[in-house]
């Protein structure tokens, strides 16, 4: 049998809940006091029991719903007996908002829920319901990941917002550049929410990050001259990813600077106090100035997340005295430099 659209407002049981129902039905048979409720030829209540019964070769009893507003019936029954997360409730509220009710008879007193009404009924904020509606429009592929708990609404909204910003705010600059300076918004495996330094937090707490594939796909090959130099910031956990980016952008790794931050950041394997500035070239692009800087630069970091010392830009300007230069994901406009990409703050 098909499921009614009202029933589909609510998620199916989790795998663990379904397993417990299956075990109970195997041991005790089908509970005849809980028939499958149908409406308009479709299952209105009892989808999980129906599926498990089908799996066990049981034909459960059915009863046609003959009450008032079938939508209110489904909402009332599911809210009273289901343990739903805030995210699940937000998705239900978004589905419920403005859903038309079917009138079983002309005297039935029916209502249509607005977004604020649906949010109040499901005990979530109207803002969260609005966010789910935006995800439905812009990135519906994320909805299953939200509903099964893999991602939160807020996390998906960061991804959607980031994609929109990349599309709308990153027109590719005209011309070619000899010097490219990049501090990508790397995406890490976690947000360090459980770290000892939770107040500092991971990248996702401070700016919308990009996956390595997204960074690799940026059209830097088209921006760089045939003879160009790339200065690329990378951290130890993503060092391998940085080399993927270097190749994707059409450069070859040459050497690196190490920024000794003096202050420590908490990490999983050690107390981290450094980052790498990788130097890479395309074609022939050795420095114009032969001055040699110490490969380790000890400069105390600020409390502003991911901010890099201006001393490194001064090193670049000293080594490379001519040619167009561009900073990717720069924080501020700098004289003599073009800037491209979303500001990572």
Strands 224-234 and 272-282: antiparallel
Average pLDDT, the chain: 84
Q: Whole-model pTM?
A: 0.52
The pLDDT of residue 301 is 82
Tokens 């991971």 sit on residue: 202
Phi, psi of 130 (to 5 degrees): -60, -40
Contact 135, 153 (CB under 8 A): yes
DSSP letters along 227-269, please?
A: EEEEEEEE-GGGHHHHHHHHHHTT-EEEEEEEEEEEEEE--SS
Q: One digit per residue, pLDDT tens: the chain, 345 residues?
A: 899 999 999 988 888 999 999 999 999 999 999 999 999 999 999 999 999 999 999 999 999 999 888 888 998 888 888 888 888 889 999 988 877 665 555 555 566 788 888 899 888 899 888 888 888 887 888 888 888 778 888 888 877 766 655 555 556 677 899 999 999 988 876 444 333 333 344 444 445 678 898 899 888 998 999 999 999 999 999 999 999 999 999 999 999 999 999 887 767 788 888 999 999 999 999 999 999 999 999 999 876 556 799 999 999 999 999 999 999 987 778 889 998 875 543
Q: From CA 324, how far away is CA 227, in angstroms rounded?
A: 12
Q: Give domain limits for the chain.
A: 7-157, 172-340
Tokens representing residue 142 in the block:
């994320």
Instruction: Determine the 3-state secondary structure of 217 from DSSP.
Output: coil
Residue range 189-198, pLDDT digits in tens: 644 433 333 3
CB-based contacts of 168: which residues, under 8 Å, 6+ apart? none
DSSP letters along 81-146, please?
A: H----HHHHHHHHHHHTTPPPP-SSTT-------HHHHHHHTT--HHHHHHHHHHHHH-GGGHHHH
Query: What one-character DSSP code corresponds to residue 196?
Result: T
Of all helices (H) and strands (E), which one includes residue 47? helix 47-55
> Dmax of the chain from CA atoms?
90
Q: From CA 204, how far away is CA 185, in angstroms rounded?
A: 9
List, in sequence order, every residue forming a beta bridge with 42; answer none if it has no partner: 39
Q: From CA 128, how far away is CA 239, in angstroms rounded?
A: 36
CATH fold of 172-340 reads Rossmann fold (3.40.50)
Q: From CA 93, how far away is CA 132, in angstroms rounded?
A: 9
End-to-end C-alpha distance for the chain, whole angstroms: 52
């Amino acid at each position: 049998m098909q499921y009614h659209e009202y029933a589909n407002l609510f998620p199916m049981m989790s795998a663990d809940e379904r397993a417990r129902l299956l075990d109970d039905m195997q041991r005790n048979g089908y509970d005849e006091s809980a028939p499958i409720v149908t409406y308009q030829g479709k299952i209105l209540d009892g989808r999980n029991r129906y599926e498990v019964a089908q799996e066990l070769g049981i034909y459960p009893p059915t009863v046609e719903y003959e009450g008032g507003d079938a939508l209110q019936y489904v909402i009332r029954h599911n809210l009273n007996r289901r343990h739903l997360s805030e995210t699940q409730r937000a998705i239900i509220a978004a589905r419920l908002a403005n859903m038309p009710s079917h009138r079983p008879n002309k005297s039935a007193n029916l209502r249509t829920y607005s977004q604020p009404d649906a949010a109040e009924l499901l005990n979530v904020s109207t803002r969260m319901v609005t966010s789910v509606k935006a995800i439905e429009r812009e990135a519906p592929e994320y909805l299953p990941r939200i509903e099964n708990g893999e991602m939160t609404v807020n996390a998906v909204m960061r991804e959607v917002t980031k994609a929109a910003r990349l599309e709308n705010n990153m027109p590719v600059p005209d011309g070619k550049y000899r010097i490219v300076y990049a501090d990508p918004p790397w995406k890490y495996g976690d947000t360090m929410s459980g770290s000892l330094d939770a107040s500092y937090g991971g990248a996702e707490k401070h700016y919308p990050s990009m996956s390595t594939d997204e960074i690799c796909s940026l059209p830097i090959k088209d921006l760089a001259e045939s003879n160009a130099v790339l200065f690329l910031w990378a951290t130890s956990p993503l060092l391998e990813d940085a080399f993927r980016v270097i190749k994707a952008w059409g450069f070859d790794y040459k050497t690196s600077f190490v920024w000794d931050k003096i202050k420590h950041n908490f990490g999983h394997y050690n107390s981290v106090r450094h980052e790498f500035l990788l130097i890479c070239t395309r074609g022939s692009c050795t420095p114009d100035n032969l001055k040699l800087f110490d490969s380790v630069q000890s400069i105390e970091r600020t409390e502003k997340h991911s901010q890099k010392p201006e001393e490194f830009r001064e090193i670049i300007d000293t080594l490379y005295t001519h040619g167009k230069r561009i900073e990717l994901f720069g924080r501020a406009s700098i004289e003599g430099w073009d800037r491209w990409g979303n500001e990572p703050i």
